Amino acid sequence: MTTWLAAIALFGLAGALGGTMAPARWRVIVVSAGTGAAAISALVVSIDVLHTGRVVSIATSRLLPFTGVQLHLDPMGALFVAITAAVAVAVSVYIVGYSNHHPMTRSSACAFPIFVTSMLLIPAAWSVTTFLFGWELMAVASLVLVLTDHRRSPDVRSAAIWYAVLTQIGAASIAFALVLLAAKTGGQGFSVMAQHSAAVSPWLRGTVFMLALTGFASKAGVVPLHVWLPKAHAEAPSAVSALMSAAMVNLGIYGIVRVGDTLLGGGPAWWWIAVIVLGVASAIYGSIHAATSTDLKRLLAYSTADNIGLVMIAVGTSGLLTATGHPAYAALALFAGMFHLVNHAVFKGTLFLSAGSVQYATGTRDLDQLGGLFLRMPIASTIFAFGTVAITALPPLCGFVSEWLLLQSLLHGLSSSVTVSVVLMPLCVAALALTGGLTAAAFVKAFGVGFLGIARSLAAADAHEPPRMMNVGAGLLASLCVLFGVVPVVMVGLLNSAVREVQSGAGSTVGSRGEALAIANTRGVFDPTFIALALVTSMLVVLGARQFVSRRHAVRRAPVWGCGRELQTPRMTYTATSFAEPLQRVFDDVLQPSQDLDVSHRGESRYFVESVRFGTRGGDAFERLLYQPVFALVRAVANKARLLQNGSVHRYLAYGLGALVVVLVFAR
């Protein structure tokens, strides 16, 4: 299996080099083949590791100077590799169709395979330098890809800057945490660090965890470090958004689990309470924004913050239950969280890829301009519909199963009878339920307004089915939504293997009894396969009954009721903005939209109104209330710092002398 692990890097490198050098006509084929091959080898090695539980490792001192490269793929890492690989296979197929109208540039052809390969190798990195090398490579490559369309609009450039700054703050924070721990444990290999971390003082361990949590949370898009997410995901090409949202943000969760559980060996309750609180905040905040967004890709990006928040809740609950001595329930929570992560990757990948198809077909991602796409691009719309049902946690698709498991883990967390969890668990359930309801509203809006009804613009009226390869790529992930929802037992063994790696001694948490999921030590049995079968049977019976009663008449197509008007124009229908208005009103305090009402009066009398303009902008409140003040502060400090630099060479020489004296005095 080591060959396959090495093959990931080689195929990726070949894709990047070949893509850079190949003529424009062949570029996308070479990139797709290289990336696809890397992803398939990753899929092979990760499924093998999950299946057999045997670790695959490579160590070489030839690649990075001084430290070498250490790769070591254990089942927990393999789960993340498998998720990324599955998404990457679908995206590799998708980009072939996408490049029909948007030819791949040389820089993206180089960055794309590197981005995917670095994501595939990060979970296998087993030393601080290897990890940070992969992490930075991923950050830089993804930044190049976000900038793909930088000529199109200044928004792309601004999004890239936000992304670069937040990802670098995160990377600095992670580097600091890992270096600190490596220094105290006397080695930069993860095995050494894990062995000696228990001897480190609790304060230092806490500091390391909090720094790592900050860094990984910024990658995962957790509130309040999420601001780059809606910008970068919206402005990047959809294939890149799909990879970022379905694969890259997962690595933030990976980092938290890896540092918290493997390197530090678990920690006190307060670490995990912090994780839960961050999770609750981003779940609720993300879902409120998703429910009120009108830009399709922003909506999806906010929903990523929401789902990652749910996974954080599960990871935090798992850590909390370990800290309070309930390893079996802790394993259940981690299982639920990981299953949700898998499902999120699958349905969010589907949704981003089909949002890309919409943008390809209509040139816009503004829901207020769309409508009626289902009749014009039925295949792409059906794929989006599958994603919608899955993300809304409706039976019989995959979101339903992991949502049920999340609820079960919180229910059992409740019975751990520790005061903290007793107070936290109901709030987590409430957060889960509120996000569930808001997600339903958000996606009824996304699908109902965007794909059903009548077209609201010429672009939507002229929409056409995207190239076949785009539908195939998105359809691959949509079929996984169905598979994991109808037959979730296929995932049980693999997930148990990953969870056992972290929660050793927990045994298998979720067993399979026939096709039903059974939770160890409890009486909960849940049979998604049975529910799916029952649902399909019941629908067939009801459909048959309706066909039977109306067998004598054909269906009549009739105009809709227009209150006596003859004409029904798109301006009379509900838009995404008006659909979200009730929720917008309810969550006014959270959203803080800026509204302006502009009334101009006639010259002769102010009782006669000439025109009224009403505008509302729903920016991100965190951007305005948290980041703008910080920017202002930095700018003020920078302005003051300019006093130090006036361009005079004498002054700089004096600084140099001063610095030298200080060094000589203190360094000795």
Q: According to CB under 8 A, which residues from 503 to 562 bind other proteins?
A: 514-516, 522-527, 530-531, 534-535, 538-539, 541-543, 546, 549-550, 553-562
Tokens of 38: 């890397």
Is the CB of residue 245 less than 8 Å from the CB of residue 113?
no
Q: Is 581 in the site for other proteins (CB under 8 A)?
A: yes
Is the CB of residue 304 less than 8 Å from the CB of residue 221?
yes
Q: Which residue has the tokens 């087993």?
A: 126
Q: Which is nearer to other proteins, 206 or 395 (CB)?
A: 395
Minimum CB separation of residue 230 from other proteins in Å reads 20
Minimum CB separation of residue 410 from other proteins in Å reads 8
Interface characters, 349-388, with other proteins (x: CB under 8 A) = ----------------------xx-xx-------------
Minimum CB separation of residue 226 from other proteins in Å reads 21
Minimum CB separation of residue 438 from other proteins in Å reads 5
Q: Is 394 in the site for other proteins (CB under 8 A)?
A: yes
Q: Map the footprint of other proteins across residues 399-418, applying CB under 8 A.
A: 400, 403-404, 407-408, 410-412, 414-415, 417
Of positions 21, 24, 198, 586, contacts other proteins by CB under 8 A:
586
User: Quick one: which segment of 37-45, 167-175, 332-340, 420-428 binds other proteins (CB under 8 A)?
Assistant: 420-428
Q: Map the footprint of other proteins across residues 20-39, applying CB under 8 A.
A: none
Minimum CB separation of residue 331 from other proteins in Å reads 16
Is the CB of residue 395 less than 8 Å from the CB of residue 531?
yes
CA 336 to chain centre: 17
Minimum CB separation of residue 221 from other proteins in Å reads 22
Minimum CB separation of residue 398 from other proteins in Å reads 12
Q: Which is nearer to other proteins, 21 or 572 (CB)?
A: 572
Q: Which is nearer to other proteins, 129 or 369 (CB)?
A: 369
Is the CB of residue 391 less than 8 Å from the CB of residue 348?
yes
Q: Which is nearer to other proteins, 206 or 437 (CB)?
A: 437
Residue 240 one-letter amino acid? V
Distance CA(439)–CA(20), nearest Å, equals 41
Sign of CA dihedral 553, 558, 560, 561: negative
Distance CA(129)–CA(106), nearest Å, equals 29
With a CB cutoff of 8 Å and minimum separation 6, the contacts of 567 are: none
Q: Which is nearer to other proteins, 177 or 389 (CB)?
A: 389
User: By CB under 8 A, how many residues form the interface with other proteins?
Assistant: 88
3-state secondary structure 194-214: HHHHHHCCHHHHHHHHHHHHH
Would you call 353 helix, strand, or coil by DSSP? helix
Tokens of 574: 């509900």
Is the CB of residue 102 less than 8 Å from the CB of residue 237?
yes
With a CB cutoff of 8 Å and minimum separation 6, the contacts of 659 are: none
Minimum CB separation of residue 378 from other proteins in Å reads 8
Q: Which is nearer to other proteins, 190 or 579 (CB)?
A: 579
Is the CB of residue 302 less than 8 Å from the CB of residue 287?
yes
Q: Map the footprint of other proteins across residues 424-483, applying CB under 8 A.
A: 425-427, 429-430, 432-434, 436-438, 440-441, 444-445, 447-449, 452-454
Q: Which is nearer to other proteins, 549 or 638 (CB)?
A: 549
- With 0-12 / 13-18 / 19 or more C-beta atoms within 10 angstroms meaning exposed / middle / buried, residue 487 is middle
Q: Which is nearer to other proteins, 523 or 650 (CB)?
A: 523
Q: Which residues pair with 60 in a beta bridge?
A: 69
Q: Which residue has the tokens 């969760």?
A: 253
**Which H/E stretch holds residue 594?**
strand 594-601
Strands 525-526 and 516-519: antiparallel
Q: Which is nearer to other proteins, 72 or 412 (CB)?
A: 412
Mark 7-30 as b/e (b = at least 16 C-beta within 10 Å): bbbebbebbbebbbebeeeebbbb
Of positions 150, 568, 622, 623, contacts other proteins by CB under 8 A:
568
Q: Is 328 in the site for other proteins (CB under 8 A)?
A: no
Q: Map the footprint of other proteins across residues 280-309, applying CB under 8 A.
A: 291
Minimum CB separation of residue 362 from other proteins in Å reads 17
Of positions 103, 186, 265, 582, contacts other proteins by CB under 8 A:
582
Minimum CB separation of residue 419 from other proteins in Å reads 9
Distance CA(160)–CA(153), nearest Å, equals 12
CA atoms within 13 A on the CB side of 224: 8
Minimum CB separation of residue 216 from other proteins in Å reads 28
Minimum CB separation of residue 512 from other proteins in Å reads 12
Residue 490 one-letter amino acid? V
Of positions 138, 211, 393, 398, contacts other proteins by CB under 8 A:
393
Q: Which is nearer to other proteins, 553 or 668 (CB)?
A: 553
User: Quick one: which segment of 49-57, 83-91, 569-577, 635-643 binds other proteins (CB under 8 A)?
Assistant: 569-577
Minimum CB separation of residue 137 from other proteins in Å reads 41
* Entry field: residues in the chain: 668
Q: Which residues pair with 56 in a beta bridge?
A: 73
With a CB cutoff of 8 Å and minimum separation 6, the contacts of 605 are: none
Q: Map the footprint of other proteins across residues 204-243, applying CB under 8 A.
A: none
Q: Which residue has the tokens 């938290």?
A: 256
Q: Which is nearer to other proteins, 139 or 291 (CB)?
A: 291
Interface characters, 77-116, with other proteins (x: CB under 8 A) = ----------------------------------------
Minimum CB separation of residue 589 from other proteins in Å reads 12
Q: Which is nearer to other proteins, 448 or 507 (CB)?
A: 448
Phi first, then psi, for residue 100 (nearest 5°) are: -55, -50
Minimum CB separation of residue 394 from other proteins in Å reads 5
Q: Which is nearer to other proteins, 297 or 412 (CB)?
A: 412
Distance CA(423)–CA(403), nearest Å, equals 21
Is the CB of residue 219 less than 8 Å from the CB of residue 252?
yes
Tokens of 340: 């949700």
User: Quick one: which segment of 115-123, 204-212, 240-248, 571-579 binds other proteins (CB under 8 A)?
Assistant: 571-579
Q: Map the footprint of other proteins across residues 189-208, applying CB under 8 A.
A: none
